Amino acid sequence: MTSTTSNLVVAGDQPAEPGAVEQVTLLTHPLRPRLLTVSAVERIAARMVRVRLTGEDLADFVTVAPEDHVKLFLPTEPGGTPEMPEVVDDRWVGGRHLTSRDYTVRYFDREARTLDIDLVLHEHGVAGRWAGRAQVGDLVGVLGPRGSFLVNDVFDWYVFAVDETALPAAARWLERLRADVPVTVFVEVQDEGDVLPLASAASVDVTWLFREDRTPGTTSLLADAVRGTDLPAGEGFVWVAGESLSIKPLRRYLKDEVGLGRDNFDVDGYWRKGVSDHDHHDDDTEAPEEAGAVDEAVVPDVALPTGSTTVAGLPAPVPAPGPSGD
């Protein structure tokens, strides 16, 4: 994979060969906490709400990649002011004890100073409950994005397989793709009430997979869909995102059975059943039986857990430097 970086030094990086196609661009952004105000709340599906945030703090906000994410700091009481993290010299030095959840940036309008976040509605976590009662005028703290992992639109084809937690990122990604590039999309949701329009200039084939009354994170719908897909010829990219334990076997499948290079796929655990604020980097090192998942199913409380665990006084990390193939 050929990549470039901005404000980022990666040990062992070598200059790209002349004429090489740039597949991935890594960027870091200044870390700044922002206090924003809810300006609109819209129910866009049976179990998803779009919250629009606004404020002059967005004047220097940066987002460039579909999976860019921010940490939301929510008030502990309705109508209250959230406690904000402390950042000094681009370092998160205070407020690590605060409860936050990571969410994908759905839309950003710099001129209008608005930031849209799509949240899954449920009663099993602080953010899901807040989404159901959010009102215009509420205050929300936002931190990030710390960095961007941008997969450039240079591939011959794409396959996306996601559940509802990754649907905002998938929708944003589809909107960015060039005209007529073939894209096969599988989306697991509860039922028809969760179906959303997906706009794209690409040639998109979407299949909605309904789990009905089955608990989120317990089906093999996404894994079965990927395994049952005949991948086209050429240089392609497969992106899978959802409950970490249910999709993790696809890493080995895509690498060992299909024979894709590690630069041609990303299997990303956005959440883990029974775990709050899941760190997706754990998926690269833990066996399923070591993961500490509990029997009780918990609907995901976040739209994009990114594993951006930070130690107070140290710089916050940038996204993983590339798709993880094993």
Q: What are phi and psi of 77, to 5 degrees?
A: -125, 145
Beta strands in the chain (DSSP E): 3-6, 24-28, 33-45, 48-54, 69-73, 86-88, 91-94, 100-104, 107-109, 114-120, 139-143, 147-151, 157-163, 182-189, 203-210, 236-243, 265-271
Mean pLDDT to the nearest integer, 260-266: 88
Q: Does the pLDDT at position 322 exceed 60? A: no
Q: b or e along 211-220 (b: 16 or more beta carbons within 10 Å of the residue's beta carbon)?
A: beeeebbebe
In angstroms, rounded to a whole number, what is the distance separating the alpha carbons of residues 311 and 156? 40
Nearest to 150 by CA among 283, 324, 323: 323
Residue 157, C-beta contacts closer than 8 angstroms, at least 6 positions apart: 181, 182, 183, 184, 231, 232, 234, 236, 237
Please state whether the predicted TM-score (pTM) of the whole model is above 0.85.
no
How high is the pLDDT of residue 283?
Answer: 52
In angstroms, rounded to a whole number, what is the distance separating the alpha carbons of residues 215 and 13? 43
Nearest to 168 by CA among 131, 140, 134: 131
Q: How many CB atoms lie within 10 A of CB 156?
A: 12
Q: Does the pLDDT at position 175 exceed 70? A: yes
46-73 pLDDT, tens digit per residue, is 999 999 999 999 999 999 999 999 999 9
In angstroms, rounded to a whole number, what is the distance separating the alpha carbons of residues 324 and 104? 19
Q: Does the pLDDT at position 309 exceed 50? A: no
Q: Does the pLDDT at position 87 exceed 90? A: yes
